[in-house]
Amino acid sequence: MQKAILGSLNPFLYNALRFAVASVVAVIFFKPRENQWKSGAILGIFLGLAYATQMLGLKLTTSTKSGFITSLYIILVPLFSLLIEQTKPTLLQTISFLLSVPGLYLLNDPSSSPFTLGDFFTVICAFSFAVHVVMITKLSANFHETSLLLPQLLVTSAINFVLIPFGGSSRFTFEAVFVMVYTAVMATVIVIWLQLKHQKVVGSNVSALIYVGEPVFATIASVIALGEKVSLPQLFGMFVLVASLCLATVRKTEKTT
């Protein structure tokens, strides 16, 4: 849905308003139990940096390269999990992470053009998303999820507000407002709340492998909603990603039986 409306909107304004609306929803429905602004702000810095650099990168590189580089945050998670949490991935998790790389490449089909400044910004985006995933696991283990939700939403909104002058003009339509509100609620507040609530249980590495399914479902949604065509290599990439996700699930099942 976002792809259909971002062409007419300043991406930083869109993100700023999206997270501002999400903040209002969080205040109403997810009232914090305790004051944890410092920890929540840390999460917001990494999340805000990820979204901001993703948009900066998109202005200077192709969408396919941006999609591929951004999705590499999945294989960066075990690195930061080891550094921050001292948690090593299992053998099957390691195989799953390695298997996801060609799957992501085939699904996004990035060009072989030279490395650009836009690619550099997108690499920062991938690192930021990876750190955000690991820090959610680490911090949510000590604090209630509602205490970490609002601060990171506000900080993410603020970071994008600062960058609005670099995003160009905007033309608001009913469709754009609907998509912004929908993503603010369904893809922002609820998703981040679920991350805060459940990542501390499953861990960073398993969570990252679950997120491998995100580009697969996004592609399916694009086919259904936008009528986009999927090539044979992309279909194979989706199959590889689903296979890598299944490996992680098998490991979890073996452990609990």
Position 57 scores a pLDDT of 86
Position 183 scores a pLDDT of 92
Percentage of the chain beyond pLDDT 70 is: 93
Distance CA 104, CA 69 (A): 9
Percentage of the chain beyond pLDDT 90 is: 49
Cβ–Cβ under 8 Å, residues 150 and 30: yes
Q: What is the CA radius of gyration of the chain?
A: 18
Q: Using 50, 70 and 90 to split pLDDT, how confident is the model at 253?
A: very low
pLDDT at 12 exceeding the cut of 80 = yes
What residue spans of 109-231 are helical by DSSP H? Answer: 117-140, 145-162, 174-184, 190-202, 204-210, 213-226
pLDDT at 104 exceeding the cut of 60 = yes
Cβ–Cβ under 8 Å, residues 203 and 82: no
pLDDT per position as a tens digit, 136-163: 999 999 999 999 999 999 999 999 999 9
Mean pLDDT of 104-122: 83
